[in-house]
Structure 1
């Protein structure tokens, strides 16, 4: 008996077959065939719709709706079809507001136009919902009612258009009537090989050459050109912005927002992206996925998030899973999602997949992406006044690296950039005990104001992260690679550029150093006192074996980092 209430944007042809398009292999004809598949968003309508939903949810006396879902893939067809699975539904398609005339009832039913929500609203609450929508200038329509069974007593979906029945289907058939396919998945463990992407040389000429090359790598280089195109300041609620530092151009680990300006509670938003170590059959997507989860957690922890209050989302980007080896790597990745979520106690609250990321040219050549995992993280920051940023704060402060460094460099940006056969081709492995433990310790230090800056050590390794901290704060830094924590003999390149998971760089004042070190030792957390900030305008690097390895002006390093995508 509940009414099917749709609120938000109007329905148009944009987005039709969007889900089909995003899951299909691309060819040279797709630009013409699927030009309509891209949805056209409207941020203002989205915000107005959200405000309506919050008011209806928090209505005095209880929520005005009994169920809610968004119009995502499949539009009304999936939203109403899923909500009415157990009770059936009768839908009046011509009640839907349209962007323009001429849509067929099929197009109305399957359009994936943006900013639309479907609510199940008891009859007595319909007018209240309508009034809230009117007050927020949000369009609303009554698409019909839930609660229809056929003669056999099965829930049934009925579609009408201009008083004519145009569709009828039993819900059991819709949901359970089509057999699911059985596919073959293969994964063969073996010697991991380093994934490479257009190496610039066999080996770097020196440490400075390697550092500048990695800072200029498109994955690492500044994204300021796109960040500054979009509004990342909403109602003055941004505590930590995407860019930070003395010139507001350093790479924040995460953004921190205060949704309610009257409260000091905030939300940290960050991500972890891994691709190189899952390169087709050369790497291992299990460890790639764990590294992405670990990186996402570290990014929000570095800005002040409580690691016990983090949730995550997955985004699988894979080549065709019709190939058993690709499906096998997808299964490995899914297994890692479970193991990582359980270890870090970070529930997956949503996700997305795009499983045919490849393109067939008109000559028949297939170009496919490597398996790629993006993990997005949202974490509660208990006190927004205690957030932390990654830019160095003062000369005289000490730089600690938290976590062990290993020689494993499969998928690292160094091995993407150099075809250096002397590097270890093992995949870096996330320790599911050490990772969560180190996150908890770092979060506690930040919460108790023992850390003045924090940066996750990931893409490019320790030296890239240290350089970013130094030039973001315009403060010189001297680094001793011999001081890192490790359980093996590392050469200087591995110490500088290995991308071992679960590591953090922390800037500590001299006054807090002894207390921090005592805590780390008590908790048996590996760490190294690898550097000290100074009044120079340079990054200097040394080791006990090689002596002076690098002496570079911060301005030169920053220019390398800014230049690649300075469009």
Structure 2
């Protein structure tokens, strides 16, 4: 039998979900929706007696102190319904992971209650006179996400919720040998292979030479391996690049720019090289101490998050945690990072293109997805950023990162032919099919319906259990190599592990969530929480016993061979046989033209004025500068007890930290420093200086809290538009050139990276016009620094009245892309640049001063410039300041607006006690240093201009309110 247990708040409790739907309906203009009653349901299949179901509801599913429940059998009869009732049920689509239902079924089994299936449902009852058009609007925009959910009107008429059916094996071949070019292009698109015509022709030629057609699974395997997501074929392509001063030819652009920077830095370091493994595993590894090394990886999960924000971000975090866990022989995660890019959350619903979710819904879903995965895994989220731009409307960006520790003797695996291929963790379902190829394609208004299966839902508890087992097995030496099942699922994981040897896979052995999966679906599914290990036969019994003891499923699904072929079998029949050489080296190189033409620039007129109070408040209250406390407070940044400098610091723990400091080994005082740098606005003026500024910001954030600048590793994450357009690819190449040159100048090697291209959204306007919105060229630089003693780490909040304030670094008239111009509606100017000679000297001298104990607080200057940095230091420390800009203005010949709001790079404000001022000034004798003023005991932020009169005179609590208000949800 099938039962429904419907749960609702008791009458004395507020129905939060009902209130949410009413508020959102009001925002949509659905005025006829005046009443909503929301409940949640569990559908339980199996028990024959209602008394059993009542026991389940009372003892497990409902909190009878604050909730009521009702039970009825399904399908619902007419007698059980209310006449004229406007009822909508929201259920997951078939095959979408329902974690609550899965956990419920496991809990019931542990209590000896055997049920066939469990599913969850949300139910909404509306006032009878609600207009059908309003209900349709609310359904689409508020109640459900069509990528993963379905809406059923009226009483449920289900007879079963069981998934799966018997699968009848049928080997499918694709007649590619005789296809025309147009047929190849059609197959690439409709088959969701997303390969170019040249690539399809290469596959065609390969099978013509083999004198046979490929099976569907062979075609899928090649498409996964050759996807942009897995092979980074654009960045690694043959590119002819031309700009105003260069004419360059690259055989492999990525290798000749970013990789080359790391190679050159390591050569210069010689015997002092502190890189361990770079660009060769799932995460980069650098030295930490005698016992442990540290690895880091940052991934993007943009397209899935655009369709289903919670699931996309949730699995983005789960996937990036598995990257270090699958590096070497396994690393233990110690902290997470995240960076998000959204459109304005106040965007009018009427301005949304077809097929897009509202930016606020995207933002709330993404934050919740990252929050739930990190918190449930017990990994602190310690650093991040959020950026807003209307060009992210159809294509939000979601970056997730993880830092992990690995024993020095476990940094490399070495699989051997004869080792078993073992799948560990979650089971395989239809979720995530075509994820790798889908993420390489442009989004359109039809993506939700065409590629909904590419979205996965994660289960952090399953991954936590798998994580614990793997680290225990690592320490017992029970396996020889491992990797995670990320993009491409088993296809990529096994294909990569067996690249140098060969592999044979027995697909019918793979554990499934439900029956009915075809062999190719098993192979390319990206169902989450799965890893692949190479286990020597002699270790299998011990490994299996360990997994069983911890409740983790482990299954032999094949073996590694010495055939140099990837052989796939289903019930002893070969369904796929691809040479590793063709799979990994057969893809034709991308050959493209790239050019860059700098945009026309114009000077910006800035005039002095009596007061800049309102401009400062406007910048503090802008979305890119304001407090992100609403997000940060949802993350656990204290778990594992290693957090030293938190995301929020100061007297009330609500000031913006420059970077995080984490102590990964509680028996040691040595620490890690994690930061990031990004400013998409600068890319509109020059992607070279955007990239340079991002590296400078990431490094100066690290140095500001105490990191040693000679021991900072960085990662690149390029998110770009359609790089088949020469001008778009040209901007990417220009940014990569900056990465190479700045990294070498700073001595900061790239150790890992990831790109996400084709971040564009296309749709038809009401007039039938095709419109495409491309994201701004967006480069995230993540930095991993180290601090010798965490007790010497600094925070940015002011510490004591009477201390002196100094500005380190050159302030220039570099206002293009600045927040001052944005809030004043002006444009023009020069984009901030980086002095590649002076910047490293400033970083080193500042670090020495911090280690000597000379500095009490330090804050880098970024968005908003000097005025914003001073205001943040003031309200974070709850101390006033009295600053005079006359020396800065005279020294640099600047206008007051430039002095206050320029966003020039490599600058810091530091606080020094008077007794050490002379020594501090001598320390910076040959570098740009200006005394600004002092810390005061009053609550005023006072900044004086040319005439000695205050051009900013504001109450620090008013400034803090302006900063905290915009996202105080």
TM-score (structure 1 length as normaliser): 0.91
CA–CA separation in structure 1 for the residues paired with 2:566 and 2:608? 64
2:527 to 86, 110, 113: 113
| Structure 2 residue ranges without an equivalent (≥5) | 1-417
Q: What CA deviation, in whole Å up to 9, does each residue of 1:289-345 have, x standing for no partner?
A: 111111111112222222222222211111211211110000111112222222222
Displacement after TM superposition at 1:107 (Å):
2.1
| Structure 1 residue ranges without an equivalent (≥5) | 150-154, 196-200
Which residue of structure 1 aligns with residue 814 of structure 2? 408
Asked if 1:11 corresponds to 2:428, the answer is yes
1:145 to 559, 581, 584: 559
Displacement after TM superposition at 1:253 (Å):
1.1
CA–CA separation in structure 2 for the residues paired with 1:336 and 1:240? 30
Asked if 1:98 corresponds to 2:515, the answer is no
2:481 to 64, 67, 72: 67
Q: What CA deviation, in whole Å up to 9, does each residue of 1:104-157 have, x standing for no partner?
A: 2222212223333323333333344434434554332222111142xxxxx110
Q: Which stretches of structure 1, 4 residues or more, deviate above 6 A after TM superposition?
A: 201-205
CA–CA separation in structure 1 for the residues paired with 2:787 and 2:592? 43
CA–CA separation in structure 1 for the residues paired with 2:488 and 2:442? 19
- Alignment map for 1:272-351 (pairs within 5 Å): 272-279=677-684, 283-351=685-753
Aligned in 2, Cα 1:186/1:94: closer, same or farther, shift over 3 Å? same
- Alignment map for 1:79-94 (pairs within 5 Å): 79-94=493-508
- Alignment map for 1:157-556 (pairs within 5 Å): 157-189=566-598, 191-192=600-601, 206-279=611-684, 283-363=685-765, 364-420=770-826, 425-484=829-888, 488-521=892-925, 524-545=926-947, 547-556=949-958
Which residue of structure 2 aligns with residue 152 of structure 1? none
Aligned in 2, Cα 1:92/1:560: closer, same or farther, shift over 3 Å? same
Displacement after TM superposition at 1:542 (Å):
0.7
Q: How many residues get paired?
A: 547
Q: What CA deviation, in whole Å up to 9, does each residue of 1:68-117 have, x standing for no partner?
A: 32222212111211221121110122333333333322222122233333
Q: Secondary structure at the match of 1:169?
A: strand
RMSD: 2.4
Deviates more, 1:549-558 or 1:155-164: 155-164
Deviates more, 1:254-263 or 1:240-249: 254-263
Q: Secondary structure at the match of 1:452?
A: strand
Aligned in 2, Cα 1:203/1:183: closer, same or farther, shift over 3 Å? farther
Deviates more, 1:131-140 or 1:320-329: 131-140
CA–CA separation in structure 1 for the residues paired with 2:878 and 2:753? 38
**Contact 2:889 2:899 survives alignment (8 Å):** no
CA–CA separation in structure 2 for the residues paired with 1:232 and 1:102? 42
Q: Secondary structure at the match of 2:855?
A: coil
Q: What CA deviation, in whole Å up to 9, does each residue of 1:476-510 have, x standing for no partner?
A: 01222233389742101111111111111111111
Q: Secondary structure at the match of 2:782?
A: strand
Aligned in 2, Cα 1:274/1:517: closer, same or farther, shift over 3 Å? same
CA–CA separation in structure 2 for the residues paired with 1:14 and 1:366? 28
Q: Secondary structure at the match of 1:479?
A: strand
Q: Secondary structure at the match of 1:459?
A: coil
CA–CA separation in structure 2 for the residues paired with 1:518 and 1:134? 65
**Contact 1:275 1:373 survives alignment (8 Å):** yes
Which residue of structure 1 aligns with residue 491 of structure 2? 77
CA–CA separation in structure 1 for the residues paired with 2:455 and 2:608? 43
Q: Secondary structure at the match of 1:86?
A: coil
Task: Tell which structure's C-alpha radius of gyration is larger.
Answer: 2
Which residue of structure 1 aligns with residue 101 of structure 2? none
2:536 to 110, 114, 122: 122
TM-score (structure 2 length as normaliser): 0.54
Displacement after TM superposition at 1:57 (Å):
4.0
Displacement after TM superposition at 1:9 (Å):
3.1
